[in-house]
Amino acid sequence: MRLKTYKFEETEVPSDGVRTVWPPSVVLQKAPVVSRAALYLECAHFVHRCNRGQWPTWMKLNLPVFRPSGPLANRGTPSGMHRTHILQRAAGKLFFQWAEVYGDDFGLIQDIGKQQEDKEGGKKDKKFKKNSSKREKNIKKKEKEERFRLAAMLKARKCARAQVMGLFHSPLSTLIKGIVVASEETLVEAMPIAWELLLEGDQQLAAVSAVTFILAAVKAPEHASELVSRELKSEDTTQRVNALLRFQALWKFRYQCWLRMEEAAHLVFKVPPPTIEFTLPSPRIALDCAPVADPPWMPQVKTKVEEVTINQDQSRSFVTATQTRRKQQMELIHRALQAEEEKKCNERENFHITAVAVNVLSAYEPALFHAVEEHEEDQLAERSAAHPIHVAHALFPSCLCSAAVFIINLLNDAEVNMDGVAVYEVAYQVVWRCLVEDTALFLRHFLERLTREKQDTVIQVLRRLLRFVPRLPAQAAHTLYNYLVGYIMFYIRAPIEGGTELIANALSILWLVVPSVHGLYLKDLKQVLRKEQCDATLLITANVPSAKKIIVHGPDVGGIPSQFPIHEDTQFLHILQDSLDFFSIEENEHKCFFLVDTKTNQMHNPSAFVRDFYFFKRSQYPQLTLLKMDPEEAFQAGQQQAFYLHFVEVGKVLMSLAILRTSHQLAPRVLFLHDELTKLPSFPRKALEADFELYTGKFGKELLGMDTLHKMVWVKLMARMFEAMAGFFAHSSDIHLFLNVVNGALVLHPEDATILRLCMATYINAAHQFRNIFASNGYLLIMPTILQIYSNHQTNGLLCRTVEFICKQFYIMHRKPFILQMFGSVAPLLDLDVNSNFGDANKMQPKALFQLLQSLAQYIVDPLDILELVDAEKPLRALDFCYQMDPDTLTILDAVSLCVTVVSYASDSHRGHQMLTILEAVLPFYLHHLQSLTTRKETPGGPRTELQMIHSVSVCMKTLISNCEALTRNYTGPQKAIDLRGSSIKNASRGACSPPFEVEEDLPS
C-alpha cells in the first residue's frame, strides 16, 4: 500500500507555515481507494495525537501558550487539560486559515489533474484523434492560460480582502476624524447615507456608518430622532424590521465612537449629559445582577480541600476492619469534592446565560485587577513595565434613546415581512439585548421624562414593557427598581400638587419589577428607606413617629395661624372642630369648610388619623389651611384623593407580596414581616380602613372597586404568610391579628364572590397548615365572623351555600373539636330575645344555626370552586388519624348528644353553660322539623321513625338532667351575663334579618 509514500510527516513542514503541495492521492479522483484511505487514516492518527497533547514542534513554536512566561499573581496555574483546549482552538484556527487561503488552489489543482486525466485518456485513443484540428489545440491552450490568470486574480482578491480591507469606508472615516469641526449641515446630509449602510455585510463599513450616525446625532439631535422615528413607524413591515436591525447596529457599535475619532477628541467634542432630576437611593437596593455560575471566561482554579465543607459526625463514624482512618478521611474528601463539582454543574444548568452581557463580562482583563505583590524591604524586586490599559466608553446620545418608545410599542406588532419574520420577535430581541447590556442607557429617555411632561404616557409605556417582558434580566430589574424608588423619593422630599397620583403610578410599576430583582430583602429595604426617610410611603411595616404639633391657617390669609398638638389617636375631625371654633366660623357654615394641605392642596378625610400622613421632623411642622369650598366639589375631591390613597396602599401591599413570592430564603422574610406587623400599632387598622360614605356619587363605583382590590391583596398577603409560616407557630396569639385581616375583609365585602372565595380558601388553608392551633382554639377566631355573616345574609343563596360548604370541610378536617369550638363561639351570639319583632344584626338567629347543622348531614357541592385554591390533597380528609374511619356527616342528634356529653362532664363550667344555650336554641327547631317531616310524609318509616328520634332525644335529656345536680345548688360567685329569658321557638316566624352590617370603628386586635 506504500504507506510511506503518503505518510503525513509533520516534522518536514516548515515552522513558518503549512504544506502547500497537495498529495496526489487526494487530488486525483481516480486514485486507488487504498492509497486515499491510507492518507485519511494517517491524518486521523495525527489529529488523535494532537488531542492527546503530542503536538508537532513546528506548531508549538508558533503558539504563545507554550512560550515561557511568568503567571499573574492571584491566578491559578493553567492545568494540562486547559492548555490542551487552548492548543486545539489555535490549531483549528490555523487549519481554517489554511483552507481559506489555499481553497481555490485546491480547486485549480483538481482542474489540472482532470486535464492530465483527459490527456492520458487521449493517448489511449490517439488513433481516434489524429484528425483533430490545430484550432482546437489553440483554444484549449487559451482556456488553460485563462484559468491560471483567474486563479491569480482570485488569490490577489482574497489577500486584499483579508489584509487591505475595503476602501468604501474611507469617506465616512475621514468625516469621523474631522467631526469636531464638521458643520451641522454636513452631518445632516451624511445621516441618511450612514443609516442605509448600517446593515452592510462588511463589518468595517457598518461600524463606520454607525459611528457616523451616532456622532451626527449629537450635533443634530432633532434630525436623528425624526429619521429613526419615521423608519420605526413606517407602514411597510420590512422597513420596520430593518429599522429595528439598524438600531441594533447602532447599539452594537456605541463603544467605537471615541476609538475612531481623533486622539483627545473627548476634550473638544462635548456630549450633553443625561438630565435626570432625581437621585438614586444610597446605598443601592438589592444586588446589581445575579452572579454567573462558574463563568468560562474567568481563570480556571481548582477547588481546594480547605474550601469544601466535609460533613462528618465524629460520634457516629466508625472504621471497619478493612478500612483505615486515613482511607476514610480520603473518601470523605473525595465525596465532598464530588458534591462541590455536582453543585457547580447544577448551577450552570439552571443559570440563564442569555440574561447576562456575555460580551462585556467575557472581556475581563486580569491585568486591570492585577495586584502588586508585596516584597520585603531588604529584597530587590524586579520591576515590570506596566502599560496603561484604555477602557472604551460608550457614546449614545439621548435623542437616539427616544427610539425606545417606538421599539417597545412594536412589541405588540404581529405583522410578518416577506421573509416570514414577525416584527414583535425582532423588537423583543432588540429590547432584551439593550436591557441586558445597559438598562439605564436604554431607558434614559423615560427616566428624563418622568419628572417632566407626559408622565402618564411614560408610565404607560413602561407598563407595556413589563407586560411583554414580565421577567426582566436581573441587572435591568435592579436598575429600574432603584430609579423608581429614587423617583418616589423625589416627590416625597419636594411634595407638589398631584404628587400622590404620581407616586401611585410609580408603585403600580414597582411591584411588577420586584420578582426579577435579585437579593431583595425586607430587612435591607427597611434600613435603606428609613435612611432616605421614605419608608412610610413604600413599606406597610413602617412605624414612624408622628409629628408633635400641626399648624392650621384660617380663611383669612393675613390672620394668625393656630397650633394643635397631635396624639396617636388624633383624627382630622378633631383638628377641624378645634379650627372652626378657633377661627369663629358660624355653625351653619361648618359643612362648607375643609382641611387642605398647604403645599400639595390635598384634602384630608375627617375620619383619617393624622399620624398616617405627617411624621416627625426636627424643627419642621406640617401646615394645613382651613378652606371654604362647595360641599359637592369637596366631596368629589375627597373621592379622588381617597382613590389615589387606596392605590398607593395597594402598590405597597403588592410589593410586599411580590417579595414573599420569591422562594429564595422565604422563611426569614416571612418571619421578619410577621414581627414587624405584630409590633405595628396601625395593624390591622390600616388594612381594613373603609369609608362607605364615599362609595356613592360620581366616583363611587370606582372607589368601591379600588377598596375591594385593596382588601383582596391584603387577604392574598395573609394567605402567603400562612403558607410560609406553617410549622413555626403553635399558639393562636401568633396568628390572631392576621386572621382578623381576613375576617375584616369578609365583613366589609361579604357579597363579593371574589372576596368570599378567597377568604374561605384562606380559612381552609390556615386550618390545614396550623392544624394544632385549630384543633384547640383556632376556630374561635374565625367562626363568630362566619356565623354572623351567614345569619345576616339568609336571602343570599350563594353565600349561604358557600358557608355551609366551608363548615362541612372544617368538620371533615377536625371533626368533634370543630363542632365544640363552633358551639362555644356561637353561644354568646345567639339571639334568644323573644320580645323583639326584628332580629339583632350583631347576633345570630337560632334558625340559621339549625339550618347550618342540618347541612352537615348532607352532601354539598362546592359553589365557588374553593378547593381549587386550597393547597392540600383533595378531597380533604381528617387530619387526626383517630377520625380516619368515621363518617363525614354529622346529624342533629349527634350534635345534641355531643352537647349533653359536655354538660354531663361539668355542668357548672363555662363550656357547660354554652352547650345548654345551644341545646335551648336547637332542640325546639329539631322537634318541629321531625313533626313537619312526618306531616309531609318525607320520613322513611313514617311516625315510627319520629317516635324513635324523640325517644333518642328523651334519653339525652334524661342523661342531661341526671348529671346537672350542680346547677341546683345556690351560687354566690360572680354572675355570668348569659341571656336565657325565653325559647327561640316563639320567634321562629319572624323573617330573616339582612340589614346593612355596621362596622365598628375600633376593630378588635
Residues 835-846 have pLDDT tens digits of 677 778 888 999
Tell me what pLDDT residue 717 has: 97
Residue 151 lies in a domain: yes
Range of the domain at 991: 804-900+909-932+976-1005
- The neighbour count for residue 718, using CB atoms within 10 Å, is 27
Please choose, from the candidates 472, 500, 498, the residue with its C-alpha nearest in 3D space to the C-alpha of residue 488. 500
| Mean pLDDT, residues 694-721 taken together | 94
More confident residue, 330 or 210: 210
Report d(CA 130, CA 136) in Å as an integer.
12
Pair (635, 747) in one structural domain: yes
629, 649, 677 - which closes a domain: 629
Pair (730, 824) in one structural domain: no
Pair (862, 989) in one structural domain: yes
Tell me what pLDDT residue 280 has: 94
Pair (147, 218) in one structural domain: no
> What average pLDDT does the structure give for the chain?
82
Pair (8, 142) in one structural domain: yes
Pair (678, 762) in one structural domain: yes
H-helix or E-strand containing 582?
helix 572-582
Residue type, 803: V
Interval 917-935: pLDDT, tens: 999 999 999 999 988 888 8
Report d(CA 933, CA 953) in Å as an integer.
16
DSSP secondary structure, 544-575, as one string: PPBPSEEEEE-SSTTSPPEEEE--TT-BHHHH
Write out the three cell numbers for 681.
400599632
Residue 526 — very low, low, confident or very high, per pLDDT cuts 50/70/90? Answer: very high
Interval 384-415: pLDDT, tens: 444 455 566 889 999 999 999 999 999 999 99
Report d(CA 849, CA 986) in Å as an integer.
16
Pair (769, 881) in one structural domain: no
Report d(CA 395, CA 950) in Å as an integer.
93
More confident residue, 220 or 63: 220
Pair (585, 724) in one structural domain: no
More confident residue, 151 or 942: 151
Helices (H), 233-324: 237-252, 257-260
- Looking at 674-678, 744-748, 769-773, 880-884, which range is the least confident one? 880-884
End-to-end CA distance of the chain: 98
Residue 101 lies in a domain: yes
Most confident of 43-57, 490-504, 552-566: 490-504
Bridge pairing between strands 549-553 and 623-628: parallel
539, 559, 577 - which closes a domain: 539
Using CA atoms, how far residue 391 sits from 206, 214, 259, in Å, is 22, 19, 10
Give me the phi and psi of 587, to 5 degrees please.
-65, -35
Question: pLDDT at residue 42 above 90?
Answer: no
Residue 9 — very low, low, confident or very high, per pLDDT cuts 50/70/90? Answer: very low
Interval 239-261: pLDDT, tens: 999 999 999 999 999 999 999 99
Report d(CA 516, CA 664) in Å as an integer.
12
Interval 449-492: pLDDT, tens: 999 888 999 999 999 999 999 999 999 999 999 999 999 999 99
Cell numbers 365572623 correspond to: 785
Q: Are 878 and 776 in contact (CB under 8 A)?
A: no
Tell me what pLDDT residue 215 has: 95
Tell me what pLDDT residue 711 has: 97
- Looking at 5-9, 242-246, 297-301, 462-466, which range is the least confident one? 5-9
Residue 702 lies in a domain: yes
Q: Are 673 and 616 in contact (CB under 8 A)?
A: no
- Partnered with residue 615 across adjacent β-strands are 546
Strand order, beta sheet including 562-565:
562-565, 549-553, 623-628, 593-597
| Mean pLDDT, residues 952-973 taken together | 83
Tell me what pLDDT residue 360 has: 81
Tell me what pLDDT residue 328 has: 82
Percentage, residues of the chain above pLDDT 70: 78
Pair (85, 178) in one structural domain: no
Pair (97, 203) in one structural domain: no
More confident residue, 675 or 1004: 675
Residue 606 lies in a domain: yes
Tell me what pLDDT residue 256 has: 92
Pair (226, 263) in one structural domain: yes
Pair (730, 852) in one structural domain: no
597, 612, 629 - which closes a domain: 629
Using CA atoms, how far residue 404 sits from 274, 328, 435, 461, 920, in Å, is 15, 62, 11, 10, 73
Q: Are 866 and 757 in contact (CB under 8 A)?
A: yes
Residue 642 lies in a domain: yes
Residue 92 — very low, low, confident or very high, per pLDDT cuts 50/70/90? Answer: low
Residue 571 lies in a domain: yes
Residue 951 lies in a domain: no
Structural domain total, the chain? 7
Residue 295 is given by DSSP the state -
Cβ burial of 48 (10 Å; 0-12, 13-18, 19+) is exposed
Question: pLDDT at residue 375 above 80?
Answer: no
Residue 678 lies in a domain: yes
Report d(CA 709, CA 695) in Å as an integer.
14
Torsion sign (Cα): 724, 728, 733, 734: negative
Cell numbers 393547597 correspond to: 871
Question: pLDDT at residue 595 above 90?
Answer: yes
Interval 126-171: pLDDT, tens: 544 555 566 677 777 778 788 888 888 888 777 766 666 677 888 8
Residue 983 — very low, low, confident or very high, per pLDDT cuts 50/70/90? Answer: very low
Tell me what pLDDT residue 59 has: 64
Give me the phi and psi of 388, to 5 degrees please.
-65, 135
Residue 219 — very low, low, confident or very high, per pLDDT cuts 50/70/90? Answer: very high
Report d(CA 680, CA 722) in Å as an integer.
18
Q: In this structure, what CATH number is given to the domain that contains residue 614?
A: 3.10.20.90
Query: How many residues make up the chain in this entry?
Result: 1005
Write out the three cell numbers for 272.
450633553
